[in-house]
Structure 1
């Protein structure tokens, strides 16, 4: 007789959520930890429940994100090790070479602070404040939605037992979100190779950092000497840090754009109700699929779509500039092309932790127009040089936009002639189309040299002198000026 299947974490999670949304009693602490994928050892569970109880009591005082940093650091320490002297020396030398090579290809000034080498837990601790700043608006919205859902669905006797259920559940919901965010940041610490690896400026403007342990793991299987990989990644990281130090407005602009987008996410009560109604306790895959797809995050509004497009454009411009500068600076490396392609594929696909963050906050970190932005920066470099290219970061109003990514030739023309306007560009293109017309059609001039206004249907026949009929103003190529 075959053994009966044993209940797993998914079964526990489903039953826990069903009871939570139906208001059927309390939840076992160890069940809560196991269902959330957290360690089930007694010490951790006791600490978790202490944090949740404190959050329930202080639910009206905002979300305590200190647990995010604590959880992230705890996960980062798993399998982490320090930096040995030989690796430290090799990394320092890589940064020195990177600085010299960057000086040759960019006018963006070098950093005043010495680059750092981070362990995984140091990276998690250093970046946790920015992660919480990004995620806080979504955490607040989810906490509010859960509060409303529990308040409306819980039996009266449960409300009486809990007291101020709205305040308590808001605090617990926010704490659970903060812990889950810590899970994501801790896992990311095992994937990133540098401070600027995810594109978002997570570190201070003056800080450039590599994670030697992750750099070594990244180099495995590339069939490229680790020294070359280390130098290439050091160039990328220094270029990223130099840009944000030089363009002082850029870091604040990107972080503000992300939080502005996140503030537009509001979890309505009916989303929670729909999730609860759609869950079949006998279907072990349904809940996991619903949570993994970010079912609580509602579809984006038109305003959010516009904000996301602007954010993606800026992130693509930053990453495209870094790619262009890095390619020029690492031209001496024999396998720089292979490393660059690996970086591009890795960045395009992202990692498990990035997917988890996208589900948690509803925001993808990878810009989609990266290749086009890099091509635009390369065109500007080839046509105008590095100095004029880098000067475009001096102020927000000077930075190219989405239209410039689509038509870099227009950007180059405008930079060559600052007095040129978009209307001038359209006129020049239309005039060029007219002059390059190979159909032989030309305006029909009268004896005084003016253009005759010939109306009526064009039957394709012309006058006896062979000139083209029906070729009055506006009959040239579409968009041609009437001259």
Structure 2
């Protein structure tokens, strides 16, 4: 184990919210001290009198000196933004440990299952095959092949946490605290990276496929199944293993059809996560409370530094912007999962007797928030749960019956043509719009684009 070992033992004790930012109990927080302010005092930093910027300068100097004692933690990985992904990758590998190579026969079985699933899916969807290769992944393969996408998912929230509290300081304080803030940012990157690494190691042993949580985490067109997790999943089911493998291969292949041939879908999904992070707000009053109760002498060891970073004051507060982004994300996930369930059931229903039971098992696994969803909530600060999955599946099934496969899949041509959250509760009106050829949502987008082009043209004419 490297020098990150001290971080591992500390992070294991952290609570679950994003990157360890949770309201934990600090045994020293409520210990009375001679510099503690009186209740109702306007002296949040505990100076016992009027606030003086010179006193703040002394505190930052002392903190800077004590942070230097924790430099060995930073040395575990070079600074790399709000999350140190070198530390994340290393800790994930150490946590996973040795995993035996996957037998050639297992690789062949997975490739055959995906090929068979693609053949059956061709008859039930207008979207062509999206997989170019099928592979079996070990847990460490999953980490290596999905880490680039996790960077997109984790960076927005981590960046907000790393910057929003510093932005709340007065301008004079920012100037005086410059070196210390840089040190804390670097420490935060290591702390975030260490928790990310352990969370990914856990998740890598739970996910069944590369698209198991509804996002395109792996390389485009690469269908990947994880035999170790599939064996654990199958152990509690009364179904033949080859049946379960074919079912999961069909789900993986169906997801790739969407992600490969609906060009806007990936950016919309990841954009919703980014929008959620941008809407985060930090309670400035809570920062003042932390400063009041904070004991600088506790910063003589790395564990105390991580305790500081895990104070609940940094926990994001829900905002209207976040709630809107979360609703958009949940609706998209429900539509994706509902469509996948519909086409997989149509492709396998008459060929594999256990299709309906397996679909129900996975539906409950997603709807109740299984281990994968809980781990995702730890990583990016929100639950990745398609709350209306069942309703979405019903909508896609009814739409298929009403307009056929081609018209159903044409709905994916533009995000404005998709059902909205309220349509999942009342699908009849949406189906009527599709039957009637209503493309008003798309027409409005085109009209706005044309309006912008005309405006640019008019501006150019005036300039000439």
TM-score for both structures, normalised by structure 1: 0.69
Q: Deviations over 1:234-277 (max 9, x none)?
A: 00000001111110111111111211211222334434555788
Residues 200 and 10 of structure 1: CA distance in aligned 2, closer, same or farther (over 3 Å): closer
Q: Deviations over 1:204-251 (max 9, x none)?
A: 332221111211111112011110000000000000011111101111
Indicate whether 1:69 and 2:89 are aligned.
yes
| Contact 2:130 2:258 survives alignment (8 Å) | no
Correspondence 1:33-112 to 2 at 5 A: 48-51=73-76, 54-55=78-79, 63-76=83-96, 78=97, 80-111=99-130
Tell me the residue number matched to 1:358: 377
Tell me the residue number matched to 2:34: none
Tell me how far apart the structure 2 counterparts of residues 273 and 329 of structure 1 sit (CA, whole Å). Answer: 59
Residue 298 of structure 1, CA deviation: 2.9
Tell me the residue number matched to 2:251: 236
Indicate whether 1:296 and 2:314 are aligned.
yes
- Secondary structure in 2 matching 1:51: coil
| Contact 1:126 1:203 survives alignment (8 Å) | yes
Q: Structure 1: 5+ residue runs without aligned partners?
A: 1-7, 33-44, 282-290, 423-483
Tell me how far apart the structure 2 counterparts of residues 380 and 178 of structure 1 sit (CA, whole Å). Answer: 44
Q: Deviations over 1:429-457 (max 9, x none)?
A: xxxxxxxxxxxxxxxxxxxxxxxxxxxxx
- Secondary structure in 1 matching 2:264: helix
Tell me how far apart the structure 1 counterparts of residues 419 and 13 of structure 2 sit (CA, whole Å). Answer: 48
- Secondary structure in 2 matching 1:208: strand
Tell me the residue number matched to 1:438: none
Residue 100 of structure 1, CA deviation: 1.3
Residue 97 of structure 1, CA deviation: 1.5
| Contact 1:149 1:273 survives alignment (8 Å) | no
Tell me the residue number matched to 1:318: 336
Tell me how far apart the structure 2 counterparts of residues 360 and 278 of structure 1 sit (CA, whole Å). Answer: 28
Residue 316 of structure 1, CA deviation: 0.9
Indicate whether 1:338 and 2:357 are aligned.
yes
Structure exhibiting the larger radius of gyration computed from Cα positions:
1
Q: Deviations over 1:292-351 (max 9, x none)?
A: 997732331112211211121111111110111111112111212221122112212334
The correspondence for 2:208, drawn from 193, 205, 227, is 193
The correspondence for 2:236, drawn from 183, 208, 221, is 221
Tell me the residue number matched to 1:305: 323
Q: Deviations over 1:75-104 (max 9, x none)?
A: 33x363321122222212211211111112
| Contact 2:84 2:192 survives alignment (8 Å) | no
Indicate whether 1:388 and 2:413 are aligned.
no
Tell me how far apart the structure 1 counterparts of residues 169 and 65 of structure 2 sit (CA, whole Å). Answer: 12
| Contact 1:315 1:367 survives alignment (8 Å) | yes
Q: Which has the higher contact order (CA 8 A, sep 6+)?
A: 2
The correspondence for 2:386, drawn from 342, 367, 374, is 367
Tell me how far apart the structure 1 counterparts of residues 257 and 109 of structure 2 sit (CA, whole Å). Answer: 21
Residues 419 and 114 of structure 1: CA distance in aligned 2, closer, same or farther (over 3 Å): closer
Residue 135 of structure 1, CA deviation: 1.3
Tell me the residue number matched to 1:428: none
Residue 398 of structure 1, CA deviation: 2.0
The correspondence for 1:263, drawn from 278, 301, 314, is 278
Residues 273 and 184 of structure 1: CA distance in aligned 2, closer, same or farther (over 3 Å): farther
Residues 355 and 378 of structure 1: CA distance in aligned 2, closer, same or farther (over 3 Å): same
Worse-superposed segment, 224-233 or 88-97: 88-97
Tell me how far apart the structure 2 counterparts of residues 267 and 347 of structure 1 sit (CA, whole Å). Answer: 30
Q: Structure 2: 5+ residue runs without aligned partners?
A: 1-9, 15-23, 32-59, 299-308, 442-464
Q: Which has the higher helix share?
A: 2
| Contact 1:106 1:387 survives alignment (8 Å) | yes
The correspondence for 1:133, drawn from 152, 156, 165, is 152
Tell me how far apart the structure 2 counterparts of residues 169 and 194 of structure 1 sit (CA, whole Å). Answer: 37
Tell me the residue number matched to 1:115: 134
Residue 63 of structure 1, CA deviation: 4.6
Residues 222 and 229 of structure 1: CA distance in aligned 2, closer, same or farther (over 3 Å): same
| Contact 1:134 1:262 survives alignment (8 Å) | no
Residues 23 and 351 of structure 1: CA distance in aligned 2, closer, same or farther (over 3 Å): farther
Tell me how far apart the structure 1 counterparts of residues 346 and 311 of structure 2 sit (CA, whole Å). Answer: 40
Q: Deviations over 1:335-368 (max 9, x none)?
A: 1222112211221233445324314432111121
Residue 169 of structure 1, CA deviation: 1.0
- Secondary structure in 2 matching 1:115: strand
Tell me how far apart the structure 2 counterparts of residues 329 and 239 of structure 1 sit (CA, whole Å). Answer: 10
Tell me how far apart the structure 2 counterparts of residues 346 and 259 of structure 1 sit (CA, whole Å). Answer: 25
Tell me how far apart the structure 1 counterparts of residues 436 and 169 of structure 2 sit (CA, whole Å). Answer: 63
Q: How many residues align?
A: 381
